[in-house]
Amino acid sequence: MTMIRVPATTANLGAGFDCIGAALSLYNEFTFTPIDTETLVIAVQGLEAARVNTDASNLAYQAFLKLYSRIDLTPPVIQLEIKLGVPLARGLGSSATAIVGGLLGANTLAGNPLSEWEVMQLAIEMEGHPDNVVPALIGGCQLAATAATGWAIADIPWHNMIVPVVAIPNFELSTAEARSVLPNEYSRADAIFNTAHLGLMIRGLETGNPEWLAAALTDRIHQPYRQKLIPGYPDVEQAVIAAGGYGMVISGAGPTLLALSSSDRAEAVATAMTEAWEQQHIRVEARSLAIDLSGATISHTKL
């Protein structure tokens, strides 16, 4: 059997809309075992297991089939076991974990005919944009930009004193709904604002400079529109600042909120985010995490 462990991701990071993502220390696991039957078997464990499809429409299995189609081979019949650690539809890249897990599982069982770069291209093709699937596959914080060869992927150094703190509420926000509130056009002033703040954020992440980070975690492309879909957003943001955090952004399409903090203030920031949302009668799980630098990992066990 082959087990693929894939990290959660946080995308956008304020001004890095649709181009920056970072891998986080939450994981989904996908175990692939070829079986001598004619019927696919999918089993799912975890708090939200009942919501995951266990037939051929399962996203990880669809990714598995896509890779076999790309290499023009007949896929084996498998048993797929999924262990959930990443909340669904919360802006933490759960779909990216399924895509990366399925593609890597297929590539491994097929004898690794595709390179990591080729697997990445397939993952972006399935997801539609790179900001979640790229860090889920290779880890760290990654910037993706279109290039003549398809994509240029650049690693963004993340200072070891910057701690990502996530606050995951008990409600969902679909990517489609979050995109529906965005305008079709932006002003020159907004474009300049985001360009400047994206550059400042990259330097802030690299150096850990508190003033740069505090200024950088704002944007004019998506957050002003999406925050209206997240009850209590201004209160949580104020709580983060009051607790000593650098600032707060929407993780992916939301509704999870991501704060950046120094290591000595991370627990206080997590507590402040929890209390602020609970005052809005919203249950939340807030926790400090780490940046996962390894990305998806593959392990093998003999039957």
Model confidence pLDDT, tens digit, residues 143-185: 999 988 789 999 999 999 999 999 999 988 888 888 899 999 9
The answer to whether 105 and 64 are in contact (CB under 8 A) is yes
Same fold, 2-156+291-300 and 162-288: no
- Say how far residue 258 (Cα) sits from the centre of its chain: 11
> What is the assigned CATH class of domain 162-288?
alpha beta
Residue 89 — very low, low, confident or very high, per pLDDT cuts 50/70/90?
Answer: confident
Q: What is the pLDDT of residue 83?
A: 98
Q: What is the pLDDT of residue 149?
A: 78
Domain borders along the chain are 2-156+291-300, 162-288
Model confidence pLDDT, tens digit, residues 37-59: 889 999 999 989 999 999 999 99
Model confidence pLDDT, tens digit, residues 236-264: 999 999 999 999 999 998 999 999 999 99
Structure tokens at 120: 């990445």
User: Which residues partner with 66 through β-bridges?
Assistant: none
Q: What is the pLDDT of residue 51?
A: 93
Residue 303 has pLDDT above 60, yes or no: no
Residue 302 — very low, low, confident or very high, per pLDDT cuts 50/70/90?
Answer: low
Q: What is the pLDDT of residue 47?
A: 84
CATH of 2-156+291-300, one of 1.20.1060.10, 3.20.10.10, 3.40.50.2020, 3.30.230.10: 3.30.230.10
Residue 287 has pLDDT above 90, yes or no: yes
- Report the alpha-carbon angle 192-237-203, nearest 5: 45
Residue 104 has pLDDT above 80, yes or no: yes
Mean pLDDT of 269-286: 95
Residue 66 has pLDDT above 80, yes or no: yes
Q: What is the pLDDT of residue 210?
A: 95
Mean pLDDT of 284-292: 96
